[in-house]
Amino acid sequence: MKQRIMKNLLKYIIILVLAAGWFACNKEGNYPGSSIYPYLPIFDLRNVYQGKDVTLSKETMLGCDKITGVVISDHSGKNLPEGLLIMQDYRRLNLLRGIAIELGAAAADYVPGDSIVVELDGAVLTRKNGILQITGVTTTDITKVAANGSIPRVRVNSNLIINKPEDYESVMSVIVKGTFVPLPAPGDQFTGTHILNDGFGNLPLVTAAGATFASELLPAMSNYSVIVLRNEAGEPQLHMRTKADYEVFSASLELQSLIITGFLNDPTMDPASDGNYEYVQFKATKDINFATTPYSIVVSNNAGASTPIGVPAQGWATGGQRTYKFNIATGSVTKGEFFYVGGRFKTINGVNSTDISAAKWVTNYDYVAKAGEGFGSAKTNLMANSGNAFGIAVFEGTTVTAASTPVDVIFMGGGGSLYAAPASGYRISNNDWYDILNPLQPSVQQPFFRMGTNNLFLAYNAGDAGAFVMLGGEYSIPLRKWTQVRSQRNIFLTKTSVLTEIQSDSLSTKIVE
């Protein structure tokens, strides 16, 4: 019996091996009912080019001979390289990729949203004037299969384009909340090359002198729908197509007077708890006398047991175990100076650690023994160490209500009962991480954390690690905006750490004048 089973098993194995070899040898797919899919994704087509011209055929296109996608070029605005038809697709790994086709005057006959099929057998893939493109294509090689197709509005941060221009070349991208460096002078127009900043980096926005919108005045802040192209040096450049490709962002460019630059939420425990050892670090963007211009700091803690439970109906003013307020009504700070708000003890990393009372402390308050200044119950943990979100918000003045909008705000963690439609939760400010108006739909309000696009938050560190969370970025006073968004940099402190470790000008947020 066992021998018969082994013989049958061996027979099946031999049949499978022979079948696998037969399929593998039929590279042309010459078996009943088979055919190779004729459309090569643009992702794969771009990878065919390896620094020298390639004549396209089934052999060089992995058995394919066509591409298909949606047209994104629009020559009515006279701001794209003449004769280039530009299209994109999502056909590989759901990644958006684009390609340019040299077509001459006929390129203007195709408009955004046209779905086309392009025969490529015999065409040439080349890089010309810095742009990867296909030459040798005529209108007889192109079939229009549909019109008025949708083109996705994809937000792309400029650092991604800078770091990987090949991925974004000939792709439609939206640069959000773009401002120019330097700020436009009265009367400045689009014509020429202007440096555009979105908080993630700088890229040139190029407008031809003959563009239909060249004489339009540069806006203070706008969203820009652009096609990314490259110059002969391989550097990425942004090209709008028409006047409709910029949408003025109505959010006012108000100066953020106080900025959160770091905090210690979980000192090393040896042996005491965190109580009265937690603190928050700030910088000011102007000189402030708190006796005449008071501020307040509110910390929210959304652990599951914190009361009142549920979505905070009064937002930052909820009180109880959920939110705790400090007032800053005495002392003063100068522009760019580090200063601190925290518990009773002025040490760098909990009990028995370095005394940093020489730093600028505008408030050190016994939150273990005392209720908050206005609301909040006394507590041993001001900021959470793990789990649900906690937030830090800065307010001008000492009156905070559910309707108050912060000057600055940041969250660590994203879980818990934080927001409920239509209008309950923690309000955010217009800063580098959050937007009161939806960046891609500026007419849509989203004033709360966890509403719309406001979903960024910092990551918790391991418990009791003594991690000072440094927020490194760049804020421009003249531009009144973040020219480099804040990023989380964890400084793991010991009991003997010194103040300079958390006041590093090279790592912390820079204030640029």
- Residue 381 belongs to a domain: yes
CA atoms within 13 A on the CB side of 169: 22
Is there a single domain that holds both residue 50 and residue 180? no
- CATH code assigned at 320: 2.60.40.1260
Q: Which of 85, 120, 146 is the last residue of a domain?
A: 146
What sign does the dihedral 147-149-153-158 (CA atoms) show? Answer: negative
Is there a single domain that holds both residue 170 and residue 315? no
- Residue 8 belongs to a domain: no
Amino acid (1-letter code) at residue 296: S
Is there a single domain that holds both residue 114 and residue 134? yes
Residue 167 three-state SS: helix
Note the pLDDT tens digit of each residue in 431-484: 999 999 998 888 899 999 999 999 999 999 988 899 999 999 999 998 889 999
Encoding tokens for residue 180? 């120019």
Q: Which residues contact 418 (CB under 8 A, 6 or more apart)?
A: 302, 311, 312, 389, 425, 426, 449, 450
Is there a single domain that holds both residue 199 and residue 319? no
Q: How many domains does the chain have?
A: 3
Q: Which residues contact 170 (CB under 8 A, 6 or more apart)?
A: 86, 87, 88, 97, 98, 99, 100, 131, 132, 227, 228, 229
Task: Please tell me what DSSP assigns to residue 407.
Answer: S
Is there a single domain that holds both residue 284 and residue 326? yes
- In this structure, how many other beta carbons lie within 10 angstroms of the beta carbon of residue 364? 17
Distance from C-alpha of 96 to C-alpha of 73, rounded to nearest angstrom? 15
β-partners of residue 116 are 69, 144
Report the pLDDT value the prediction gives residue 9, as an integer from 0 to 100.
44
User: Please, what's the b/e burial string for 237-274 (b: 16 or more CB within 10 A of its CB; e: otherwise)?
Assistant: bbbbbbeebbbebeeeeeebbbbbbbbbbbbbeeeeeb
- Residue 34 belongs to a domain: no
- Listing from the earlier edge strand, what are the strands of the sheet with 323-328? 323-328, 295-301, 390-396, 408-412
Distance from C-alpha of 49 to C-alpha of 42, rounded to nearest angstrom? 11
Cα–Cα separations (whole angstroms), residue 264 to 76, 257, 321, 465: 55, 22, 19, 10
Note the pLDDT tens digit of each residue in 284-308: 999 999 999 999 999 999 988 889 9
Task: Please tell me what DSSP assigns to residue 214.
Answer: T
The dihedrals phi and psi of 75, each to the nearest 5 degrees, come to: -90, 5
What sign does the dihedral 342-348-354-356 (CA atoms) show? Answer: negative
Cα–Cα separations (whole angstroms), residue 110 to 85, 232, 407: 7, 26, 48
- CATH code assigned at 163: 2.40.50
Structural domain boundaries enclosing 188: 158-248
Identify the CA nearest to 448 among candidates 337, 300, 338, 335. 300
Is there a single domain that holds both residue 283 and residue 327? yes
Is there a single domain that holds both residue 230 and residue 322? no
Identify the CA nearest to 483 among candidates 196, 273, 269. 196
The dihedrals phi and psi of 379, each to the nearest 5 degrees, come to: -155, 155
- Residue 10 belongs to a domain: no
Encoding tokens for residue 401? 């209500």
Encoding tokens for residue 26? 């039929």
Is there a single domain that holds both residue 138 and residue 112? yes
How far does Cα 150 stand from its chain's mean position? 23
Task: Indicate the pTM of the whole model.
Answer: 0.83
Note the pLDDT tens digit of each residue in 171-220: 999 999 999 999 899 999 999 999 999 999 999 999 999 999 999 999 98
Is there a single domain that holds both residue 174 and residue 299? no
Is there a single domain that holds both residue 236 and residue 263? no
pLDDT tens digit at each of 513 positions of the chain: 444 444 444 444 333 433 433 333 333 444 444 556 799 999 999 999 999 999 999 999 999 999 999 999 999 999 999 999 999 999 888 899 999 999 999 999 999 999 999 999 999 999 999 999 999 999 999 999 999 999 999 999 999 999 999 999 999 999 999 999 998 999 999 999 999 999 999 999 999 999 999 999 999 889 999 999 999 999 999 999 999 999 987 655 789 999 999 999 999 977 668 999 999 999 999 999 999 999 999 999 998 888 999 999 999 999 999 999 999 999 999 999 999 999 999 999 999 999 999 999 999 999 999 999 999 999 999 999 999 999 999 999 999 999 999 999 999 999 999 999 999 999 999 999 999 999 888 889 999 999 999 999 999 998 889 999 999 999 999 888 999 999 999 999 999 999 999 998 888 999 998
Report the pLDDT value the prediction gives residue 263, as an integer from 0 to 100.
98
Cα–Cα separations (whole angstroms), residue 411 to 87, 242, 382: 40, 39, 14
Is there a single domain that holds both residue 414 and residue 381? yes
Q: Which of 117, 146, 175 is the last residue of a domain?
A: 146
- Residue 271 belongs to a domain: yes
- In this structure, how many other beta carbons lie within 10 angstroms of the beta carbon of residue 507? 16
Is there a single domain that holds both residue 382 and residue 445? yes
Where are any strands of DSSP class E within 60-164? 66-71, 84-92, 95-102, 115-119, 124-128, 131-135, 142-146
- Residue 1 belongs to a domain: no
Q: Which of 214, 248, 282 is the last residue of a domain?
A: 248
Report the pLDDT value the prediction gives residue 253, as an integer from 0 to 100.
72
- Residue 53 belongs to a domain: yes
β-partners of residue 512 are 476
- Residue 33 belongs to a domain: no
